Amino acid sequence: MDHTIPDIVIGRLPLYLRELSRMEGDPDRITTSSHELAERLGISSAQIRKDLSHFGEFGKQGTGYHVHYLIERLTEILHLTHEWPVALVGAGFLGHALASYRGFQRRGFAITRVFDNDSATVGKTIGELVVRGIEEMAADLRESGIRIAILAVPADAAQTMTDRLVEAGVRAILSYAPVSLTVPPGVQVSYSDPVVQLQQMTYYLAAGGE
Residues 170 and 104 in one domain: yes
C-alpha to C-alpha distance for 67 and 29, rounded to whole angstroms: 8
Helix (H/G/I), strand (E/B), else coil: 164: helix
Boundary (domain end) residue, out of 16, 45, 77: 77
For the segment 164-172, the average pLDDT, to the nearest whole number, is 97
In this structure, what CATH number is given to the domain that contains residue 50? 1.10.10.10
Q: Which amino acid is at 148?
A: I
Provide the pLDDT confidence category of residue 57 given band limits of 50, 70 and 90: confident
Query: How many domains, in total, are found in the chain?
Result: 2
12 half-sphere exposure, CB direction, 13 A CA radius: 18
For the segment 37-48, the average pLDDT, to the nearest whole number, is 95
Residues 47 and 93 in one domain: no
φ/ψ bin of 127: left (φ > 0), alpha (ψ from -120 to 50), beta (otherwise) = left
In this structure, what CATH number is given to the domain that contains residue 136? 3.40.50.720
H or E element that contains 108: none
Residues 40 and 111 in one domain: no
Predicted confidence (pLDDT) per residue in 62-86, tens digit: 678 999 999 999 999 999 999 999 9
Boundary (domain end) residue, out of 77, 103, 132: 77
Which of 91-100, 104-113, 199-208 shows the lowest per-residue confidence on average (mean pLDDT)? 199-208
Q: Do the bridges between strand 59-60 and strand 64-66 make them parallel or antiparallel, or are there none, so unpaired?
A: antiparallel
C-alpha to C-alpha distance for 58 and 53, rounded to whole angstroms: 8
Residues 145 and 46 in one domain: no
Boundary (domain end) residue, out of 60, 77, 94: 77
Residues 103 and 66 in one domain: no
Residues 142 and 54 in one domain: no
User: Considering the domain boundaries, does residue 2 fall inside one?
Assistant: no
Evaluate if residue 5 carries a pLDDT over 60.
yes
Provide the pLDDT confidence category of residue 175 given band limits of 50, 70 and 90: very high
Residues 63 and 125 in one domain: no
φ/ψ bin of 15: left (φ > 0), alpha (ψ from -120 to 50), beta (otherwise) = alpha
Evaluate if residue 141 carries a pLDDT over 80.
yes
| Residues in a beta bridge with 113 | 87
User: Considering the domain boundaries, does residue 204 fall inside one?
Assistant: no
Domain that holds residue 109: 84-196
Provide the pLDDT confidence category of residue 209 given band limits of 50, 70 and 90: low
Helix (H/G/I), strand (E/B), else coil: 189: strand
Residues 59 and 90 in one domain: no
For the segment 175-201, the average pLDDT, to the nearest whole number, is 93
CB 191 within 8 A of CB 175: yes
Residues 14 and 48 in one domain: yes
Residues 135 and 109 in one domain: yes
User: Considering the domain boundaries, does residue 205 fall inside one?
Assistant: no
